Amino acid sequence: MSSGTTLGARGRAAPPGSGTLAAETDPQVARIARTPEFQQLVHERTRFGWILTILMLVVYFGFIGLIAFDKALLAVKVGGTASLGLFMGVFVILFAFALTGVYVARANTRFDALSDALKRSVGR
């Protein structure tokens, strides 16, 4: 009845506190970890994820930093009544959404292809 059969089996079979994992003795895991496909997938995706994370942090804390340290700049008028700060705030929201879009687009094409290649090569 339990889902995720692997996890279910592990959760119940392993005595609590042992912290062991069936996979320690599972040669399959070591084999997958050594394949070039796996290493490439993990390398590319981890790198990409961290780059986007850092971009988001820089943009958001840049915005917050300006609010904290340079209010005058954000008060500058851009086209009549609206201020630069207002555009930047809306930009942060749109940027966050766009960034998730960029990640999903890349994951749907490149990472899923690498993942499929990996699954073929380990024969599943």
Partner 1 sequence: MNRILLGLTLATIAATAAYAAGPDLGAVQQSATNWPAIGMFLFFVLLTLGITYKAAKGTKSAADFYAAGGGISAGTNALAIAGDYMSAASFLGISGLVYTSGFDGLIYSTGFLVGWPIVLFLIAERLRNLGKFTFADVASFRLDQTSIRIISAVGTLVVVAFYLIAQMVGAGKLIQLLFGLPYLYAVIIVGVLMIVYVAFGGMKATTWVQVIKACLLLGGATFMAGAVLYRYGFNPETLFAASVQVHPKGDAIMAPGGLVSNPIEAISLGVGLMFGTAGLPHILMRFFTVSDAQAARKSVFYATGLIGYFYILTFIIGFGGIALLMSDPSYYKLGAAGTFDKLKDMIGGTNMVAVNLANAIGGPYFLGFISAVAFATILAVVAGLTLAGASAISHDLYAQVIARGRTTDKREVNLSKISAVVIGVVAIFLGYVFENQNVAFMVGLAFAVAASCNFPVLSMSILWRGTTTWGALTGGLVGLLAAVIMVVLSKAVWVTTLGNPAPIFPYDNPALFSMPLAFATIWVVSLMDRSRRAQRERAAFEAQYVRSETGIGASGAHAH
Applying the rule CB under 8 A, the residues between 23 and 42 that interact with partner 1 are 23-24, 26, 29-30, 32-33, 38, 41-42
CB of 36 to partner 1, least distance (A): 14
CA distance 43 to 21: 24
- Which of 112, 122, 94 has the alpha carbon at shortest distance from 29? 122
Report if residue 11 touches partner 1, rule: CB under 8 A: yes
120 binds partner 1 (CB under 8 A): no
Phi-psi group of 19: left, alpha or beta (phi > 0 → left; psi -120 to 50 → alpha; rest → beta): left
**Of 16, 99, 14, nearest in space to 55 by CA:** 99
Interface with partner 1 (CB under 8 A), residue from 36, 40, 47, 53 = 53
Q: Which position among 47, 58, 75, 113 is part of the footprint of partner 1 (CB under 8 A)?
A: 75
